[in-house]
Amino acid sequence: MSKSEIHQLLSFDINEKTLQRRLKKLADESHIATSGQRSALKYLSLTKSMVSSSVLQDRKSVDSHSFLLTQESLEKLKRLDTPSYARVKVSYDQSLVESYVPNQTRYVSEDIALKLRTLGKRFNKKLAAGTYAKDIAQRLLIDLSFNSSRLEGNTYSILDTERLLQAGEAVNGKFDEETIMILNHKEAILFLIENAEEISVTPFVIRNLHQLLSQDLLSDSSSCGKIRQIEVKITKTSYLPLNSPQQLEELFTLLLRKAVKINDPFEQSFFLFMHLSYIQAFEDVNKRTARLSCNLPFIQENLCPLSFVDVPRDDYVKTLIYFYETGDYIPALEVFLWAYERSCEQYKVVEQSIGVIDSYRIKYRSERKQVIGEIIRGMIVGVEVQAHLELFCTENKIQNADKFISITTVELDKLHSGAIISLGVTENIFLIWKEKFDTSKVA
């Protein structure tokens, strides 16, 4: 509920500022949670959690700073109170992937998946993959870039992230590692959204996603998108990742072959979330790759995406480490389920603000891709662009040609190399055309 809705239901009088302070105190002490910002701020009862009614009655006490893990999981995580050097060393357990049978083995139970689908469903009819993500793209870019970076220890605030992504303004004007991390997230998220109809969970796609996330952050640029050839270690854990490049390549391919066969989007998402983090296939940026990869099923099925809003970093890291060392995924699943709920609350507000889907855009999507591809391949720029669009509309009997031309013109202006996979052009051809196109605008 919003603050005003709560105010109306109270049986006693209270000053609005006092109510705001008391709600903030309840949220700070983890008795309740919040979703959204400023005028869109909502207060959430933690007793509405998806995990189960019995789980909900067993939340951690206020002074322990965790409100999304069950008492059972908290007891398990006490294992991590022992320093990592004193815990038993464990290596990568490939049986976790090898024994997994798509659509038979389940991490997310069917009843929980059904409840999550009810929460995350956004349309009552079948629409092109990525439609919903495109509608909320501006908000999603900020939220997912900020929260995924925050989970890596990035100190950018949500407002700093917004300024960087919308206006290109870096904190203190410096394009340092934290700034690049957020900009890389933007490119990677756009890659997923804009190519949702064309891509699937394959080694090629995940490697390219890693390349976008890691560009200009690794000391060896050739390591971006490439299965690692060197040994890596993870701090604060007794887990030792696999270090044979040949085995890494094989198991990376195996886990993605299994992932792509999983029909349920929530099971597929959680499988990717856990196993891409666990295998540590790349020199660095593995968890970021996992967090974005696990959104692909949601984007493709027009479900609410997972942006990790308000997920406590400590709970996220500890539950992953616990999985690395024990193979027990339950604590991490609790974090995942809670995080998905929070995202659904976040984008319920956004959805209400964007209005109905423009069916005209959907109807002529393939025609727009066709003509954009023609313009690029034909190296058409300047005034010739409008002439070509008008001729195309006439020849293809496009209804409301002015609207079609207006939409296509804006898309041409915003087009970049991360969004050309479905246009039938190579990156080299695109870059040559783009340079001529931008020059013609200046002229």
CA distance 226 to 358: 40
Binding residue per annotation — 290? yes
From 411, 339, 350, 403, select the one nearest 375 (Cα to Cα).
Answer: 411
Binding residue per annotation — 286? yes
Binding residue per annotation — 291? yes
Binding residue per annotation — 288? yes
Secondary structure letter of residue 350 according to DSSP = H
Helix, strand, coil percentages (3-state) for the chain, rounded to 5, are 60, 5, 35
Burial of 257 (0-12, 13-18, 19+ CB in 10 A): middle
Asked if residue 309 lies in contact with residue 278, where contact means CB atoms within 8 angstroms, the answer is no
Asked if residue 248 lies in contact with residue 91, where contact means CB atoms within 8 angstroms, the answer is no
Secondary structure letter of residue 70 according to DSSP = B
Secondary structure letter of residue 324 according to DSSP = H
Task: Give the up-direction half-sphere exposure of residue 251: CA atoms within 13 A in the CB hemisphere.
Answer: 25
Binding residue per annotation — 207? no
Cβ–Cβ contacts within 10 Å for residue 93, how many? 16
Helices (H) and strands (E) in the chain, counts: 22, 4
Task: Determine the 3-state secondary structure of 121 from DSSP.
Answer: strand
Binding residue per annotation — 22? no
Task: Read off the amino acid at residue 365.
Answer: R
Binding residue per annotation — 40? no
From 224, 231, 187, 182, select the one nearest 207 (Cα to Cα).
Answer: 224
Cβ–Cβ contacts within 10 Å for residue 197, how many? 15
CA distance 14 to 193: 45
Collect all residues with Cβ–Cβ distance below 8 Å to 285 and sequence separation of at least 6. Answer: 210, 213, 214, 217, 218
Please provide the DSSP assignment of 351-405 as one string: HHHH-S--HHHHHTHHHHHHHHHHHHHTT--THHHHHHHHHHHHHTT-SSHHHHH
Binding residue per annotation — 284? yes
CA distance 345 to 358: 23
Annotated binding site: 284-291
Annotated binding site for ATP: 284-291
